[in-house]
Each structure stands twice: as C-alpha cells, then as structure tokens.
Structure 1
Amino acid sequence: MYPMKLKLSTIVILALATSASLGAAEKLTTGTINVISTTPLPSIGLPLNIIPANIQIVNRADLKNQAGVSIVDFANNNLQGVSIQETQGNPFQPDVTFRGYSASPLGGAPQGISVFLDGVRMNEPFGDTVRWDLIPTFAIQGMQMVPGSNPVYGLNTLGGAIAIQTKSGRLNQGAALEASAGSWGRKNVSAEYGGVSKDGSVDYFFGVNYLDEDGWRKYSPTTVKQTFGKVGWQSESTKIDLSYLNVNNDLIGNGLVPQELMTGLGRDAIHTRPDQTRNSLNQITLNGSHWLNNNVMFSANTYYRRSNQKTLNGDVNDTFCPADDTGSCADPATSTKDLIDNNQAVFNSTRTRTNAFGLSAQLAFNQDIFNKKNQLIVGTGIDRSISKFGQFEQEFQSWDSTRYPSVADDVQETSTNFKGKTITSSVFATDTLSINELVHVTGGLRYNYSKVNNKDFLVGTDDYGTADAGGRHTFSRVNPSLGLTLTPNQNVSIFGSYSESNRAPTAMELACADPLNPCLLPNAMASDPPLKQVVAKTYDLGAKGNLGANFKWNASVYQAVNHNDLQFIHAGTNASMGYFDNVGKTKRQGLDLGLSAKIDKLSLTGSYGYIRAIYDDGFTLTSESNSSRVDDTVINVNKGNYLAGIPKHQFKLRAEYEVIPTWTVGANLVAFSSRYMHGNENNGHQANSAACAADGDEIPCGKGKTSGYAIVNLDTRYKVGGGWQVFAKAINIFDKDYETTGRLGMTHFDAAGSWMTDYADDYTSGSRLVSPGAPRAGWIGVRYEFGGAPEAK
C-alpha cells in the first residue's frame, strides 16, 4: 500500500505544507514524501512522483510573499502555461488562460478550466464563468493546478483543473492584522484569527478583507469586501469542517479602448462608461472525512451557494440612425431613413440570480492487490442549480464629455426574462497500481449526465426580434483516462497519459444559439437550436525530478484536441452581438519547461512555455473591420489559423534573495509574445493595407496583433520583530507600455473623445480596440501577527 495514515492532520500537512510547484520560488526541503489528493475532495493522497502529470502546487507562503490582489495575479506571474487577457480592464476580472484554455468571468469566452474551492465547483452554473473576485486570497491555504482533460474533475475540465483549499485554525493559529496603500488610491486592510480548543478537537478560523481603489484608468473604481469563516472538529479517525463565504464586490472595468482614443487622451482613457459589475455570494460548505479502517477513507461534501450579479453598461445604440442620414446607417437591409433613431447611447443592464446546491462522496481504498501497491477511489456527485436572468435597456439622446449616456429618452424596457435549470449527476472511479518500484499505472472513468431546462418568460418576439429561448436538453458521456509513470529512482519520474473530458453547453449558451436571432452579451436570449457538447482529448508526455536537495526540473509536451468546440460567433458591428455555435475542431500543441533551484540564500524559479493553438476546421465569421474580409462582411477561418488572444511563447523568472534571516527581496520577470487580435481569427488582417486606405471608416490601419512585452515586478518583506512585518510591492518598474488583448472593431468617437458627425461614414471609424496594461505602480504595507502561531508548520 502507499504511505499509511497516521492521523487526519498528517494528510493535510503533507498535502499543503510541501510544494512541488516550479511556478513559485520555494524553499526546497528533503526527507518528506510529497502526497496530494487526486480528486477535488480530501483523500488519502498519492506520492506526487507517481502521478502521470506535472501538477503545480502553490502554498500560502508563496501568495503572502508576493502580495497580489488575487490568486490570478500570482498565477500570471509565476505558474507555467498561464497567461491573462484583461478584457474588462479590472484586476479582479481577467480572462485566465492555461495551455490555451480559458477560465473567464465573461459570458461568451470559450470556457475550458474547472475551478474548485474546498471541493465545491466555482464555475457559475449559468455560463461556466469564473468570478475570480469571489475567491479570497487571504483565506487560501494551498492550490494545485492540474493539467490535461482529467475526467475525475468533472465537466469543463477540457484543459485543466484548479483545486483550492482554504485555511483552518489548526494550521493558522493566532491573529494577524494587515494594511497596505499606494498607487491609484488603493487601500487594502485585512484581519484573520485562528485557533484550536484546549482538548485539540475543535479548530476555528475567521478572516475579513476590504479593498478600495480608484483604478489606474479613468472612472474605474473598485470595492471588494470578503468574509470567510471555518469551524472544524476532528478525532483520530474523523474530520468535519463547516465554512461560510460572503462576498460583496463593486467592480468597474471599462473594457477595451480604441487605439486612437488612447493616443489622443492618454493610456488611462476609456471608450464608453460605465462598465459596472456587482457580484455577491453567500456560500456554505460542509466537508467531512472518516477512516473506516486504516486503509479505507470515506469523504463527502455538501454545499449551498447563492450568487447574484448585476451589470450596468453604457453602450452605443445599435439602432442609431439619425434623421439627416441620406442612406443607410448600418445594414442597408434593416436600417434606412424610414427607421429613424436619433438616440446615440443606451444603458444595458442585467441581473443574474443563481441558487445552487450539491452533494459529492467518495471511498478511497489504499489496499494492496496481489502484493502490489494499489489505490482505488470510487465516487459520485450531483449538482443542481436554478438561474434567473433579466436584461433591461434604456436609450439616451447623447453622451456627456466623459462618454457617459446623457438625457434619457425612453423608459427602461425588459428585453429578456429567462430561467434556466441544470441538474448534473456523475459517477467516477480512478485506480493507481504500482506493478513494481519502477512502473505505475493509473486509469480512470467518469460518467457525466446533464439536463438543462430553459424557460423564456417573454415568449414571442421583442424589439430585437428574438424568439422563444425555452427548451429541454440532455447531455451524457463516459470519459476515460489512462496514464503510465516510470520511476527509475526517487529523483526521476517519466510519465505519459491520455485523457478525455466533456463540457455540456450551459443554459446561457443554449438560449443564445440562433444565427437568425443574435444575442447581446451578457445575453439577450433568443431561440435555442441544439448545440453539441465539447469533447477534449489530450495526450501528455513528460518527465520531472530533482538533482540533489536543491534543484528541481520538469519538461512536458502535450496535444489537446477539442471536438465540436463551442465559440461565440460575432454578428454585425457590435462586438457584444452574436450567438453560440459549434465550430468543429480546435487543437493545442505545446511544450512546458521548468527549473527551480536553491543556491545558498538565493531561490530561483524559471519556466518557458510554447503553444500552437489553432483551428483544425474551417468556418466563417463576421468581422467587418478585417482588411481580408469577403463581401465587406465575413472572414474565412481556415484549418491552421491561430486562435486569438493566446501568446505562442511565454517566459517567467522568479528570484528571491534572503538578505538576512528577517529580510527577503524578490523579483519577477514575465514575458509574452504577440497575440492575434479577436476579429482576426483568420490571421489575415494587414496593417496599412489598400483596404484601409479605401475603407478607413470601417477598417483600421493598424496591425492585427498585439505586440509582445516583458515586465518586471519587485517585492520585499522585512520582519521587524515582535510580530511586526513591513512589506512593499512594485509592478512594471520600467513603466513599459503594453496591451494584453485586443479586437478589430469600430468606434463612434474621434481621437478627442467626441461623437463623430460625418454621416457619410456611418458615424463610425475602424479601430484597434485594445486593453492597455497597467503602468508603473507601488504599494507599501504593514502586518502584525500575535496571539499564537500564525506560521504553524
């Protein structure tokens, strides 16, 4: 059998207090067997060196030392294969990409990563989106990033899974108060307290976090309020945790900005405003585990989560067509002088309310078979959710000088009133058999069944011509996995694996799948032609190991193919208007390399990633601002064209130096290559083309990529004594100008920010809309720890 259980706390400490990540500068230790759970629920765990994957592990010390505002900030700066697109322009709302797969807070993004917090899926049931602001960094004990299409992690694990564990009072005894302030008017305060009862059976942890800032771009304030508490009880054979998470956030990120506007008004300029998102969450989680005997462990959890989201967006009115226009304003087939609409602006607001609850359970058997080490886990789960979605609009006559809608011209109208119910049930099994000390075989199966029922309360057509968005849909699949690990010695592991996973279309996507009735994101629902579920098939081959006590390395190559990949197809000039459709196959092939070393007082971590993310089938897209467009409207995407928004190359280097035992200094270098812009999925847009000269009102003259970039961040922490610490962080210290994503599109505003008045050009101009990266900034803070052992080992 694999390493025996001593008591439950041993499992927790082995899983969380050791780190095999090559994405963070760690202090390497010896004499410890790294053991982690191979499912979202607590389990007996397996030695890391026999798992056929390079799992990156982050511990709380790594997060604390680099003092980022969110877990995403740390991942982008440290973890292999991770990049972000700041489409929303808010630090708590990035699109996270891992090996070419996304976990995004935005509806319409091709989701492909599952995220768990204490075994509870954090992907929102309505659209598989991930609201990163709902995960409090101060409460994180550890995190694992699992690559590939591992079916054990359930739906949406197309490219990977992120499993996060929260703090407990047993591992975080004592109190801590922390405050920091600096650039952009940012003020951040937090407090936490943990402890254990006198008899050692009960532990407790409670913490709060408050952040407020103006944002570095104009009119982009953010307020974050997070509260987390956990109470646990354990004996020698049983452990139970009850936790509560409450979040109330007000986020403004004013999205992409036209290149010309940014040039004319500065890099902190915005396009239109506001772009406000208010997220709230109440989540209760009960986790339990019990040793039935020394070799069999039962684990289970149940949860209830209520999440609400309200958005308010100041947008250009799609039906704008002034009375003085002598021809068509947009589409000659639908917009003529007979359809006069002088209103330039519109408020689009949405409300999403989701109630979700679920139950998962598993049995882990750590028992030899024919005198060979073996671990078998069998489990089941059910998740149920009800989401209610409403969308409202109100037209305004014009814009004020800050590009905020001015002078309401109509009452607010309801454009969508919709409810989606989803039930997902599953059973799974995974087994690891060590044939001998050299060969280890891992296999798994998971059956997923999903049922989606949609109901449209505005049956018929509305002002946008949408049809009934109701419907019933079912999806099911058995997903297999098989892996082989060779361990010629304790210092080297060679592995290979094949895995499959599926993603069922969500209620939001199914209700917005009609090309004849495009939706306005977040989603004004239309009729729902059937969509196919996405199936990912992944091959992974690699090796990992260490050279002595102070040097670790890993290398892997992979290929992942999505079948029936699901994408939001843009329709018309509005980048938010479109529908969901299956676009055939997409392929991601890549290479990951990582090194980690401890040289006296210097800790170094470096990684390089290459990815070839391409379409493997052809189709057409609407992109009127692409110089290679056909019939002034569409582009032909061909097999071999690169996916937008994904850099081919990335390089990360982390250095941390212990000046004296109480003072450390760290630096991160992060570099990404260029990326194709959205709207240039055919990779055909040319800068300064003849089409630009002839049709400058529609086609931007700039290139169809965002440029590569490299930035350097610094951090330091000094322990004054008596529990006091002082820390500081600086980002982009060389003040580089860069963009993380972009789109070929159009704008109604000139470089001075004024509404265009030339109706001969349809009041628009082709533009590169980009997401500018943050300039140089810095923060300083203080932390006070007292009353216990906050750094419990």
Structure 2
Amino acid sequence: MSSACSRPRRLLLAPAIAMLSTSLVCFPAFAQSRSDGVLPPVTVQAPDQATRPAARPKPRAAAPAARAARATTTAPQAPAVAAPAEAVRGPSLTVLTVQQALRDIEQTPGGVALVPANAYRNSTVSNTIKDILDYVPGVFAQPKWGDDTRLSIRGSGLSRNFHLRGVQLYMDGIPINTADGYGDFQEIDPTAYKYVEVYKGGNALQFGANSLGGAINFVTPSGRDPHPNGVSVDAGAFGYRRLQANAGGVNGAWDGYITASTQATNGFRDHSDGHGNRVSANVGYQITPDIETRFYLNANSIRQRIPGSVTKQSALNSPETAAAGNVTLDQQRNIDTVRIANKTTIRFEDTVVDFGMFGVDRHLMHPIFQWLDYHYQDYGGFAKVTDDRLIGGFRNRLVAGVNVLNGRIDNKQYVNIAGNKGALASSSIDSSKNTSLYIEDSFYVLRNLALVGGTQFLHAARDRRDRYLADGNQSGSTSFDLWSPKGGLLWQIDPTWQGFANISRSAEVPSFGESSSGPGIPSIPFTSIRPQRATTYEIGTRGRRPDLTWELTGYRSEIKDELLCLYSAFGNCNVTNADRTVHQGIEAGLGAAVLKGLFDRGPAPDKLWLNMAYTLNDFRFDNDAKFGNNLLPGAPRHYLRAELLYKHANGFYAGPNVEWVPQAYYVDSANTLKTEPYALLGLKAGIDNGGPYSIYIEGRNLLNKTYIASASIIDKANANSPLFEPGTGRAVYAGFKAKW
C-alpha cells in the first residue's frame, strides 16, 4: 500500500490539485449531452458572464426602466460584474427544462451532476438506479436483487445493509425517504424522468439534506415538454419484460402528463422473481404568465422475492443459489405507495418563489427474519426563494428556504412462518419530525468570480411509543438541533469552464434502525445514538465543450461519530457511533471525441466517443480504539466505468463498455475478509437520431464472469459469513421506443 494510504490524515487533495492543474492546461472545447456520446454528469453550458441573459418570455412593461435605473446607481469605481440571471423559465414555471436545470445546478461550487434521460433511456434497459448513475463519478451503485441497490456517494451509508441511509432521495422535490431517514429504490422508475439531479454532500443544502452523501432528485416531464406521448417495450434475459407508455399535452392554461409502466422478471438467482406497476402524473395550471401551480400523483405496487446474501464461496461457485433461510421463510419485500403533492411557482422581476406541500402513504409488507408490517404516513411542505439581482453594481444571488418532513410509522412485527404471519412479536408507533431552514448567498466580487456562503439549521425529533411490552418497554424519544455552515467560491474561467472550492459541514440524524443490542454486545438504544457530523473540503473543475466534457474533483471529509457497524450478533450488523473516520477521494469524469471523420467527413462527421467515470475511494478509521487505522468496509478503492462508442449522424451507434473493480475490498471493519476484483465486458448498439423511433440491443457481462456485485458489512467476518451478493451472469436485452 502506498504511503498516502498508510497515513490516514494525509490529504488526497494534493494529487487532486496536481490533476486539476493538468486539466486546466489540457482540456479544450464546449459540451454536448451524452445523447452525442459524451459523459452527462457535470456541468453545463455556462452563460457568458459579460452579457445579460435573454429577458423572460413576458416581461412587465416597467422592467426595462427598472433595470436601467438600477444600472445608473452603479458606483464608478466598482469593477465589472456578472449581470444577474433573470427569472427565465418556460414553457413551464414549475418544471425546468434540462438547460434551465443545468443553468441552475452550475451555480453550485461543488460536486453536482445532471443526467438527462437521453443519456441512458434509449440505449440501455434502464431497469435500476445504476443505469441512471453509471457515469457519475463518486457514486457507487450496485444492484442486489430486483430493484434493490446498494448506493453510496462518497462513502455514505456503508454500514446500512438494508435499504438506504446517507443519501436523500426526492421525486420532483418530494421526499422518497421516510421521515426518519431511510430510503428505498423500488419506487424509482428510470423510464419516468426527464432528468436526474445529483447533489453530493453539503452541496444538497437547498433540499434540506442532512447527510454525507447529499441528495438525488428525479424530475418527471410536464405536458408542455416536447413529444409528451410515447410507448416503449423492453425484454431480455431471465424473463425480463417491461411495457411503458406516456401521454400528455396542453389545453390553454392547463397541461398534463402521465407515465405508467409494468414490468416483471424471473430473476437471475433462485427466489428472486418479482413484478411491479408504477404510475406518475402531474397537472399544471398557469394562473398568470408569472404564476403556475402543479399537482402531482405517484403510485407504486411492487412484489419482490429476496434471494439473500450468501457466503463468498457460494457467491463465486454457485451464484444462482439463494440463501436457504430466505427460501424457507419465503422472504419478500412488497410495497404499496401513494404520493400526492402540489407545487406553486411565482415569478417576480428578480425573484422566484416556490412553495408546496405533500403527503405519502406507504405500506411495507416484508417477511424476513420476522414478518414486518409497517404503515408509513409522511407529510410536509417546503418554501424556497431565489433572488438574483445587482446590489451596488455587484451581482448577488440569494437562495433561502424551509423544508418540513414529519411522519408516523405504525410498526408491527410478527413471527414469520414460511412467509405467513404468526404471533405478534413487537409493535410500536414511531414518530419523526424534521424542520430545516437554509440560506446561501453568492456574491460576485468579479463578474466571473463568486464568493459563496451559507448555512442550514435542522431540528429533528424521534419518538417511539412501545405497544408490545412482553420484552420490556422500548419507548423513548430524542431530539437534535444542528447547524451545517458552508463557504466556497465559484470561478467561471470562461463560458465553458468552471473551477470551484468549498468547505461544508453535514450532520446526519440517526434513524430508528440505528441501535445495538444482543448477546455479548453492549445494549445501546436508539435514543443514545449521536448524529454523524462531517467537515468536507472540496476542490475541482468541470467543463463542457463541443468534443469534450470533464469533471475532476478532490475531497476530504473528516467525520465524527460516523454511523458504523461496530458490533454484531447472529450475522446482523448493529450500527452505533464510531469515534473519528476519514473519507477522501478523487472523482474524475471524461467524455471525448477520440477520432472524427472515420468514414464520413461531411458537415456532421462520424465520431468515436470515449465516456469514462473513475472514482478513487480512501475511507478509513482514524486511530480508532478498536480498529486502529483500518479501511472502512463496503466500497471498492477503485471503480471505473467506461465505454467507447462509434456514432454516426444518422443515429447509429455501437461499441463496447467495461466495468472494472481492480482491487478487492473488505467486508468487515476488522479487515479480515475481502471480495474479489472483477472486470465486466459489455456491448451495445442501436439507432437513435432524435426522431420518433429508436431501437437498441445491449449485452451485459458477455464473458459470463462470476463476481460479487455488492456486499453487506459486519464488524468481524469469517469464511462462512453470509455477506455477499452475486452479480448477474451473461444477459442480453433489447428495446423499441416510439414518441410523438
């Protein structure tokens, strides 16, 4: 291991800065979306800071005079500054276009990404969140079974062996995570979104995200989007089939959009069959050209069997075999969800106000070691103000808001008798309340240089009322008041190239699932678990040019009280607070035209495109009393995703891709048991020229490599620890899509 790895406090930012300086010299150009074959995440087409953006569609008559009056107040000695980005939205006020969302996300002085649907929707089977986030550096997303995925951003939630913690998920700004913080992937339908926003770590300030990993927002189209009508059919390996359709349109001030999908699979592994139906719809009404309100509906019904984690030997020698206990207990994860919401946007001269409310009813039917019957009812609201104007001749952009997320879990657990409910084993009412307030200000001291400062305040409360006292009274309550400040700078080096740096705090509140109890381990109730706090230092660059996009970021997070697996009983991880840990790494994305004009040298020459996302993870304990400077388990040190695509102007594309984990990673905090390295070869081809029809065929793991896709973690493992999720074998998928 290199010296940089053997010293836990040594910064990885030094090599990041060196790479950054190299990139500043070497990378030319201006960007395209991945529909042209380049890497999607990252940045965006940056407006020329020397010019004022185009006026909004229907400006008030007094607007030019008002702007002129402000301009004359500029002090003669003030330097030239960027003009404010006016409240340009359309055709919908409540649902931004891809370009508008790109313009907004580029105001963040840190790691962010925006993935448009055309980056993955028409060229892959688009079955899981991995298909969306495959080319976002810093994100590790690996399927476990069905739609379930192990997701980590910058090492978030490594100890959560079930569901999700450490990343806040949203759908059209409405929380997918429950009020106590845990998330699930089964309600995500990759076919339903126009784009997906990724805010890493403290860069998710505006979502009220209080987690190390940040936030992901899945945005559905409106009836005002082009080509709102469509249908798609996908089918392939292991009995997979999906039918999806969408429809929408505009009628005067009204517009509407609905998308629905039904899918089923037999599964690669035994006991992994499942099916699901999902619907998302919205209806918008423009009260005036500057006021729009929109109502949302999302409903899901998912039925999924769970094959379970197995030993390393079983995963590598018999990957299709399910865990015996999962079959005996007929373990499943079934969810019915209804989510409703409203969002209203009001546009003023230099200010946009967004506000709304939501409610979620979720029923989890989950026979595992016990038969879990949980009924969730979450509700809340939000308000956000974005003000972008000249103050004393200097551009100033202020974003402030409040988010409220409250919820109640009617929690019942029964003895699992071969997949059926037995006697009641536990029962409680778990209540959560979360209120976050945030403010962030970007002041442009130069026309292309902004100083950014902000903070978030979170008040969170957790309360459990135990209704089953045969095993003692587990009732209790706790509350937290947490501040998370941040500061940074954003440098628009030229219209296609940004540099950024920031320092941010994050504070992650424990969910009801964090506690420790069992034979031979200390009993720590959920009320004694402290929030996880992190200070993150970040520096990077990103850009988009005609034949090149790039992202290069180095970061270091110094964490106190990280929620980790320090004890275990019966193979289950008990999550408590570690002392101090360090997460640091490098995130690099590249999209480049390697060759042009191979067979067609016309005005739109054919191209050979390279898409690549590389993540370096260095996560470790920091002089821990029990684990010293051991590496944190659960994520690979190196992760590379790359593809080389031939693309022709007529829409034809074809090429290979690779997923590479060159170094095995530990699955236990004691660093005694590892996964295995692997490399997967894939190939895809299709036709997509932006017209009404597209078709693709995709092969995955074509060499039929037996590998471990993801792993649960534990404090100390042995060769018989059932922690491993086998990856899927050779698979071929094909699909056809039509739109009008």
Deviation digits for residues 624-670 of structure 1 (CA, Å, limit 9, x no counterpart)? xxxxxxxxxxxx422x2111111111122133332451423254322
Which amino acid letter does the alignment assign opposite residue 230 of structure 2? A
Relative distance call for 1:106 and 1:714 in structure 2 (3 A) is same
Distance in 1 (alpha carbons) for counterparts of 2:590 and 2:527? 48
SS in 1 for 2:120: helix
**Counterparts in 2 of 1:582 and 1:706: CA distance versus 1, 3 Å:** same
What residue is the counterpart of 2:736 in the other structure?
782
| Aligned-residue offset at 1:280 | 1.5
The verdict on how the C-alpha distance between 1:188 and 1:20 changes in structure 2, with shifts beyond 3 A counting, is closer
Find 1:24's aligned residue among 40, 43, 50. 40
Distance 1:582-1:36 versus aligned 2 partners, 3 A rule: farther
Query: Cα distance 1:586–1:153, how it changes in 2: closer, same or farther (>3 A)?
Result: farther
Say yes or no: does 1:444 pair with 2:444: no
Once the two structures are overlaid, the 10-residue window that deviates more, 656-665 or 610-619, is 656-665
1:327-346: CA deviation from partner (whole Å, max 9, x where unpaired): xxxxxxxxxxxxxxxxxxxx
Q: Please give the alpha-carbon distance, in whole angstroms, between the structure 2 residues aligned to 1:27 and 1:445.
A: 24
The amino acid that maps onto 2:621 is Y
Identity over aligned pairs, percent:
18
Deviation at 1:495, TM superposition (A): 1.3
The corresponding residue for 1:279 is 335
Conserved 8 A contact 2:284-2:294: yes
1:81 maps to what in 2? 138
Q: Does 1:65 align with 2:61?
A: no
Give the residue type in structure 2 aligned to 1:302. M
CA deviation profile, 1:161-208 (whole Å, cap 9, x unmatched): 2122111111143421221222111111111111111x3x21111111
Q: Is the 8 A contact 1:610 1:650 kept in 2?
A: yes
Match of 1:330 in 2: none
Please name the residue that 2:495 is paired with. 490
Residue of structure 2 aligned with 1:479, choices 481, 484, 496: 484
2:365 paired residue among 284, 294, 310: 310
Instruction: Give the direction of change, closer, same or farther, for the CA distance of 1:108–1:596 in structure 2 (3 Å limit).
Output: closer
Give yes or no for contact 1:71–1:137 (8 Å, CA) kept in 2: yes
Q: Give the corresponding residue for 1:339.
A: none
Q: Secondary structure at the match of 2:384?
A: strand
Q: Is the 8 A contact 2:95 2:221 kept in 1?
A: no
For the Cα contact (< 8 Å) 1:203–1:231, is it kept in 2? yes
RMSD value, Cα: 3.4
**2:269–2:319: 8 Å Cα contact kept in structure 1?**
no
- CA shift in 2, pair 1:32/1:255, >3 Å: farther
Which residues in structure 2 correspond to 1:459-478 (within 5 Å)? 459-461=469-471, 467-478=472-483
Within the candidate set 379, 383, 389, 1:357 is matched to 379
Pair 42,36 (structure 1): closer, same or farther in 2 beyond 3 Å = farther
CA contact (8 A) 1:417 1:458 kept: yes
- Aligned partner of residue 251 in structure 1, secondary structure: strand
* Residue 784 of structure 1, CA deviation: 2.9
Q: CA deviation at 1:722?
A: 9.1
Shift of 1:108: 7.8
* Higher RCO (CA 8 Å, separation ≥ 6 residues): 2
> CA 1:269/1:278 → structure 2, altered by over 3 Å: closer, same or farther?
closer
Q: What's the secondary structure of 1:73's corresponding residue?
A: helix
State how far apart, in whole Å, the 2-side matches of 1:516 and 1:391 are: 21
Alpha-carbon distance in 2 for matches of 1:290, 1:103? 40
User: Which residue is 2:675 aligned to?
Assistant: 706
Matching residue within 535, 559, 562 for 1:562: 559
Which among 190, 213, 216 is matched to residue 162 of structure 1?
A: 216
Contact map agreement 1:103 1:113 (CA 8 A) in 2: no
Show CA shifts across 1:471-519 (max 9, x none): 121101111010112234324322110011211122343xx44467989
Q: Is structure 2 residue 646 aligned with structure 1 residue 654?
A: no
- 1:99 to 1:675, Cα distance in 2 relative to 1, 3 A: farther
What does the per-residue CA deviation read over 1:673-703, in whole Å, with 9 as the maximum and x for residues that have no partner? 334343x3121x2xxxxxxxxxxxxxxxxxx
The answer to whether the 8 A contact 2:374-2:411 is kept is: yes
Deviation, 1:36, is 13
Tell me which structure has the larger Cα radius of gyration. Answer: 1
Match of 2:281 in 1: 229
Pairwise CA distance, 1:19: 9.7
Relative to structure 1, the CA distance from residue 739 to residue 261 in structure 2 (aligned partners, 3 Å threshold; closer, same or farther) is closer
Per-residue CA deviation, residues 356-404 of structure 1 (Å, 9 max, x unaligned), is 1101112221121111011112211222100111111146xxxxxxxxx
Unpaired stretches in structure 2, ≥5 consecutive residues: 1-31, 54-84, 88-93, 597-604
Q: C-alpha displacement at 1:258, in angstroms?
A: 2.5
One-letter amino acid of the structure 1 residue matched with residue 698 of structure 2: K
Matches within 5 A, 1:196-595: 196-197=250-251, 199=252, 201-234=253-286, 235-261=288-314, 267-272=320-325, 273=327, 274-291=330-347, 293-313=348-368, 348-394=370-416, 412-461=422-471, 467-509=472-514, 512-514=515-517, 527-546=525-544, 548-572=545-569, 574-576=570-572, 579-595=574-590
C-alpha distance in 1 between matches for 2:344 and 2:526: 40
SS in 1 for 2:131: helix
Q: Does 1:181 align with 2:186?
A: no
Alignment match, 2:724 = 770
In structure 2, C-alpha distance between the alignment counterparts of 1:18 and 1:442, rounded to whole Å: 30
Equivalent residue of 1:484, what SS?
Answer: strand
Aligned to 1:695: none
Deviation at 1:63, TM superposition (A): 2.6
Q: Which amino acid aligns with 2:374?
A: T
Distance 1:286 1:71, change over 3 A: farther
Q: Give the structure 1 partner of residue 698 of structure 2.
A: 729
SS class of match (1:726): strand
Q: 1:745 and 1:105 mapped to 2: Cα distance?
A: 10
TM superposition score normalised by structure 1: 0.75
Higher mean alpha-carbon deviation, 48-57 vs 358-367, is at 48-57
Pairing 1:612–2:618 present? yes
Residues 358 and 94 (structure 1 numbering): CA distance in 2 closer, same or farther, change over 3 Å? same
**What is the SS of the residue equivalent to 1:102?**
coil
Judged with a 3 Å threshold, the aligned counterparts in structure 2 of structure 1 residues 500 and 22 are, in CA distance, closer, same or farther, namely: farther
Partner SS, residue 133 of structure 1: coil
Change (3 A) 1:642 1:284: same
Residue from 627, 631, 644 that aligns with 1:637: 627
SS at 1:255 equivalent: coil
- 3-state SS of 2:394 partner: coil
Structure 2 CA distance, aligned partners of 1:475 and 1:601?
57
Aligned residue pairs: how many? 647
Structure 1 letter corresponding to 2:733? W
Deviation of the 1:536 alpha carbon = 1.6
